[in-house]
A and B are shown apart, each in its own frame.
Chain A
Amino acid sequence: MSGGEPLLSIRDLAVEFRTEDGVVHAVDGISYDVLPGETLGIVGESGSGKSVSTMALLGLIPQPPGRIVSGTAMFKGIDLLKMGRKELRRFRGDEVAMVFQDPMTSLNPVLKVGYQLGEAIKTHYPKESDDTVAKRVIGLLRLVGVPNPDVRANQYPHEFSGGMRQRAMIAMSIANSPSLLIADEPTTALDVTIQAQVLEVLKTVQEETQAATILITHDLGIVAEMCERVIVMYAGRIVEAGDVHTIFRAPRHPYTIGLMDSLPKLTEDEEWLRPIPGSPPSLINRPPGCAFHPRCFLTQGRPRCREEVPELREAEGTGHRAACHFSDELVGHQSKFSEPAAV
């Protein structure tokens, strides 16, 4: 399924926003790859830069007040960040598609659902006959599990439930069989039971199209279920990156450990929940050095954390990378989620 030349290769991407309170450094020099057909998770709190980094790819960041400061994003040999608006449009919805968070407001309320799906197809393939498009729309709706797709296609968004709308959005995104699908917190706005259904739909869709997927979420459970590799972001930087199994078993960054520890484990008794102390940093006045140090249990006040931004490098014995000066001290630390037997 995965392996080989990366489909998408991002290097040193930096995005900032000018606001009345100052310049917000939303993304501060991140680099990662996406291999064809794989599912990559991006995890982080709100404000970590996870959505901005992908919206920058598609040129969806409003350029004032936003600004892509630096970086390249090589997709099939072309730098998306350097492309003009017209050319970028050819990719949007065709090769690279995006599913957004809030299904309630992501569909135009005055147009029929079938029409909006058809629009996605006709924009890129205007020569297709109306009949073909209609059939494909119904087929797509059926694929994502919308019952009575032929009737539903003629309805308006407000006649769909939240979960169905998200399915329709997913259908719309894969209408042109994209090579890369970006799903930005697709289930956050939905009930837990619907979440499970929508994730199933995503899996089905992936199997059908063999598309690579970037799944952005703050929910580690979703990452565990859906992703092969994962990137953890904090304050606009990548703090840990690697494949899902090793990261879950042996996290090497205090933030990742904190994230996992804050989840209650259903199979054991715990007296207290363990949140990460403090609050997310201001992106205008980011803490100097390692952005996480004010909340970190590993720092022990050591000046290096305050002075030097840690590099994302190979963490010993795991095969994944972490950005912590003292990640070696975490060797031997088993996370909550490690399997009891030796791996």
Chain B
Amino acid sequence: MVSYITRRILYSIPVLVASSFISFVFVSLAGDPLANLRANPRTNSPQILNHLKHVYHLDQSVFVRYWYWVESVFTQKLGVSLLTSQPIWPDITRALGHTLQIVLLAQVIALFLGVAVGIFSAIRQYSVFDYTFTTVSFLGYAMPTFWLALILQIIFVDIYLKWHVRIFYTSGLNSGVISSTWSLDRLQHIALPVITLTVVSFALYSRYMRASMLDVINSDYVRTARAKGLPERLVIFRHVFRNALIPIVTVSALQFGALLGGAIVTETIFTLDGMGYYFLNRLQASDVYAVMAYLMIVAISVITFNLIADVLYGFLDPRIRYD
């Protein structure tokens, strides 16, 4: 197992390098970091522009610039933002922390509910419960997140305007003062984004769980368990559940990895200082180093969680043994 993990990590390094290079080229080509300065009559003098060009190595080829970036990653902890001239690391880790809180909450709730609903749906297949929840999760799955987020926002703005009561906040992470991570104020602010993210994930998990349960319930070894005289309760929990859970575990690990990039749209709509919001802002300003920092964090997160998913899978299913 250890050698497998090591191999996977080593394997992913060239992929990371290639991906970072291509991304760097794309980002550099996609926009001009000096665009804002050019547009502003106070800063668009040739001297300023040329000086900045030199400092940011914009007058050199993409390869050289890439190399400078790689250098700054290791020497300056991901470098300095072109936009703010501030080090990137503290900003991005702060954004990461916020995203982490929201994603963690949403995933835990979605997993819990999704698994429970999936199990019950499968056990009571074709019942009213099953049909209702299948429809609900279907709708949840089909709904684009930005639409759901907008609707929630509209509803709660409406409630505030009509009844002057704030149940959940519709934008920002806190009301003015930087609140601590688990304060009521913060929770009220992140409630709507968490709900938005939960709905989609819940739909996914409950569908998967139901399908997986149905698959297992009809298998031969479950028939054997029944033929042995096991009470149905034990058949479900000891035989069906363990097997049915395996795909969910891996899917949720993968989801988590992907979501750490931040739900760009949700964060934008609710104006949250998270990874997605950070990314979009920096991208639109062509802040190359910041964007690259974001991309690298996301890539590493995806690769790591892919690996975690595979390891978990091997752990849960004795038939899979990596040698």
Q: Which residues of A contact B (CB under 8 A)?
A: 58, 60, 85-86, 89-94, 97-98, 100, 102, 105-111, 119-120, 123-124, 156, 158, 169, 172
Contacts and interface: CB of A to CB of B under 8 A. Distances in A.
Given A105-B219, A106-B224, A107-B224, A90 B229 contact: yes
Contacts of B42: none
B242 A110 contact: yes
A119 B228 contact: yes
A123 B228 CA distance: 8
Contacts of A119: 225, 228, 230
A156 B229 contact: no
Nearest to A58: B227
Given A109-B319, A110-B317, A123 B230 contact: yes
A107 B234 CA distance: 16
B54 interface: no
Nearest to A172: B228
Given A60-B223, A102-B220, A109 B228 contact: no
Given A60-B223, A169-B224, A109 B229 contact: no
Contacts of B228: 92-93, 97, 119-120, 123, 172
Instruction: Please name the 3 residue pairs, one residue from A and one from B, whose CB atoms are nearest each other, closest first.
Output: A93-B229, A92-B229, A93-B228
A4 B239 CA distance: 41
Nearest to B224: A106
B258 interface: no
Interface residues of B, number: 23
Q: Most A CB atoms within 10 A — which of B224, B238, B317?
A: B224
A109 B317 CA distance: 8
Given A106-B221, A108-B243, A94 B229 contact: yes
A95 to B, nearest CB: 9
Nearest to B221: A108
A98 B220 contact: no
Contacts of A172: 224, 228
A233 B277 CA distance: 71
Nearest to B234: A123
Contacts, number: 74
Given A92-B229, A106-B224, A123-B231, 18 more contacts: A85-B232, A89-B231, A91-B229, A97-B227, A100-B223, A100-B227, A105-B219, A108-B224, A109-B317, A109-B318, A110-B317, A111-B238, A111-B239, A119-B225, A119-B230, A120-B229, A169-B224, A172-B228
B225 to A, nearest CB: 7
A127 B224 CA distance: 22
Contacts of A120: 228-229
Contacts of B229: 89-94, 120, 123-124
A90 B229 CA distance: 6
A111 B225 CA distance: 12
Contacts of A58: 227
A120 B229 CA distance: 8
Contacts of B231: 86, 89, 123
Interface string B256-276: 000000000000000000000
B226 interface: yes
Pick from B226, B316, B317 the residue with the most CB of A within 10 Å.
B226
B219 A156 contact: no
B221 A158 contact: no
Contacts of A111: 238-239, 242
A169 B223 CA distance: 12
A158 B318 contact: yes
Contacts of A86: 231
Given A105-B221, A109-B319, A98 B243 contact: no
Contacts of A169: 224
A110 B318 contact: yes
Interface string B64-80: 00000000000000000
Contact of B225 (A90, A94, A108, A158): A108
Contacts of A105: 219-221
